[in-house]
Structure 1
Amino acid sequence: MESLYHQANRLVQETQQCFEKLEKVSDLNSDPIEKEIQARIDTITSICERLDIMVYKEPLTRRTNSKYRVDQVKYDKDHLQAALDTYKNRKYQRLQEEREREALLSHQFKLNNYEETAILMDHSQSFYSSKHHDSLKSANQGVDDMLQSGAGILESLKDQRMTLKGAHRRLYDIANTLGLSNTTMRLIERRAYQDRFILIGGIVFTCLVIAAIIYYFT
């Protein structure tokens, strides 16, 4: 078991040295070193499988320490495999980018037929311009309808105000005729004063709604 363990450690160190060589060569010349690294990693994997079997044959006093040493070798092996996979992925990306760059540089672009392009653009612009014009016309008509509706509401509120004012005047005259008390007259005036604020509030609210609609549609 000791000889296998030392052999695995020696392979780990040699594989790390192969990685140092791999960093110094170009991507086009790296295949032999990659194959060598993968072969060493496969050998270490095979040795670890044999060591796993031999660990359980060790005495109980040495089994824990032996298993720890084997696990350390397996960890180093997994780290080497991950490093190799990462290198291969980066190499593939570099080669792919290089091929795409060469394809782009070697590609010959052809000029479009000006007349055909102009016709398509004119037709497209005419279609979208007409569609945009129809949308604006519809929105403008909607805003005009809302303005007319708002004007009608304001006129109706104005008429209601005049009606309330006339009713207040008639009530005041009736009260004077009937000789109502000053307290009753003050209550009537207070109610008329409150109705005035309600009317003003309704007018302001309607104006705000109309202004918001005009802002939204324009």
Structure 2
Amino acid sequence: MAMEGRGGGTLSDLYQGSKRLLLKSRDGLERLERLEFSSSTAAVDSPDLSAAVRTDLAQIRSLCADMDRLWRSVPAKSQRDLWKRKVEQVAEEADSLKESLDKYFQRRQRRVQEAQERAELLGRANGESSHVLRIFDEEAQAMVSARNSSRMLEEATATGAAILSRYSEQRDRLKSAHRKALDVLNTVGLSNSVLRFIERRNRTDQLIKCAGMVLTVIIVFVFWRWIR
């Protein structure tokens, strides 16, 4: 494909890049789900991995916005329909992965909250509970920070996609207005030609009428002279 996205890649390049990111995101999500049943030491590192998965999914959404703009410019309808289905499949798979990631976050947040409640109920004075709480507090803060960063990235991506969509709509409206203006100009040109033809025809009819009247008067006069 000759069309290029904002990053300079073609439609085919963007599609291949989005497929690679989907594979990476799916693998990262599977690792996160395995970490849920791992030791607490390994689980502490999960916020970085979850943030990376969120970042990849946000990048896929950005690529989908670029591809959605590019496939509409494909000249052949059959190819245009094919690319439309491909882009929709990528977007649907990314949405499914994001939904699974959100459910993972909900489970993690629930476990952290349950652990904090258990530690508070035990009320150990030997500092062990505070150590556990500190670990979970740090993990919760890291998760909140990762989610906030990912949310900001998603909002920026959505804003960029909306701006591109508005630019595309404005371009289409300008093209439509241009075509309408050309149609009006063509119609005005045709109307002027018709009016000039009608005016010439009216002048011709007037001449024919006058000539007929003069000829009639001459014939009557000649006939009147003849019968006298």
**Greater C-alpha Rg:** 1
Normalised by the length of structure 1, the TM-score is 0.47
Q: Which has the higher contact order (CA 8 A, sep 6+)?
A: 2
